[in-house]
Amino acid sequence: MATTTDRPAPTAVTERPGALRRGPRPDVGRIALYTVAVLAALLWLLPLLWSFATSIKPEGETTITPPTWFTADPTFDAYAQVLGRGDLIRWTFNSFVTTSIVTALTLIVCVPAAYGFSRFDFRGRPWLFALIIGGILIPPQTLIVPQFILMTQLGLVDTYWGIALPQVVAPVFVFILKRFFDAIPCDYEDAAKIDGAGSLRILWNVMLPLSRPILTAVGIFTFIGAWNNFLWPFLVTTDPDTMTLPVGMGTVMGGYGIQYAQVMASAVLGALPLLVVFLLFQRHIVTGVAGAGIKG
Partner 1 sequence: MRDASNRPSLSPPPPAHGVERRALLTAVLTTAAVTAAGCGTYDPLASDRTRLRQWNLFGGGDGLRMLQMHEAYQAEHTDVDFRATTFEWGAPFYTKVAMGAAGGRGADIATVHVSRLESLAPGRLLDPIDPSALAEAGIDETMFLPNIWKECFFEGRLYAIPLDTHLLVQFYNLDVCREVGLLDSRDRLIPLDGKDTYVDALREIKAATGGFGLSLDTWGPWSNFWALYRQQDGELVFGEDDFEMDDDKALAAMEFLYRLSEEGLSPRVSQGADTSANLANGRSGLMIHGNWEMTTLDATDVSFSVTQFPNVFGNHRTRGDSHCYVFPHQRDRDPERTRAALDYAAWMLRHSLSWSEGAGHVPAYLPVAESQEYDQLHPQSEYREAAENVQFEPEAWFSGSAGRLQDEATGPLTALHQGTRTPEEALRQLKRTFHAMTNAPAPV
Partner 2 sequence: MSERTHTSRVQGSGAAGSGLVDVHRRPATWTGLWYVLPFLAFYLLFLVWPAIVGLGYTFTDRSLAGGPVSFIGLDNWNETFTDRALYESLWNTLVFTVLSVPVMVLLALGLALLTDHARRLGWFLRFSFFAPFVLPVAVMALMWEWMYNPSLGLFNGILGRLGFEGSEWLFSENTAMASVVIATAWWQVGFNYLLYLAAMQSIPKDVYEAAAIDGAGAWQRIGRITLPLLFRTTVLITILQLIGSLRVFEQIYLMTGGGPNFATRTVIQYIYDSGFVGLRIGLASSMAYVFMVLIIIASVAQFRLFSRKEA
Cβ atoms of residues 102 and 169 within 8 Å = no
Out of 72, 137, 194, 253, point to the residue binding partner 2 (CB under 8 A). Answer: 137
d(CA 20, CA 289): 25
Tell whether residue 171 is a contact of partner 1 (CB under 8 A).
no
Site for partner 1 in 24-53 (CB under 8 A): none
Distance of CA 83 to the CA centre of its chain: 24
3-state secondary structure 137-177: HCCHHHHHHHHHHHHHHHCCCCCHHHHHHHHHCCHHHHHHH
**121 interacts with partner 2 by CB under 8 A:** yes
Decide which of partner 2, partner 1, none touches 195; Cβ closer than 5 to 8 Å per partner kind.
none
Cα–Cα dist 289/294, whole Å: 6
User: What would the x/- binding string for partner 2 be over residues 261 to 290, using CB under 8 A?
Assistant: --xx-xx--xx--xx-xxx--x--xxx-xx
Give 148-157's long-range contacts (Cβ < 8 A, gap of 24+). Answer: 148/235, 148/236, 151/236, 156/236, 157/236, 157/237, 157/238
State in angstroms the smallest separation of the CB of 119 from partner 1: 15
Closest C-alpha among 3, 33, 5 to residue 18: 33
- Applying CB under 8 A, the span of 73-81, 96-104, 204-212, 225-233 interacting with partner 2 comes to 225-233
Q: Which of 25, 86, 120, 196 binds partner 2 (CB under 8 A)?
A: 120
Give dist(CA 162, CA 238) in Å, integer: 12
Is residue 184 a contact point for partner 1 (CB under 8 A)?
yes
Shorter beta-carbon distance to partner 2: residue 20 or 80: 20
Site for partner 1, rule CB under 8 A: 3-9, 11, 90, 93, 96-98, 100-101, 103-104, 148, 151-152, 155, 157-161, 179-180, 182-184, 210-214, 216, 219, 235-236, 238-242, 251-253, 255-257, 280-281, 284, 291-292
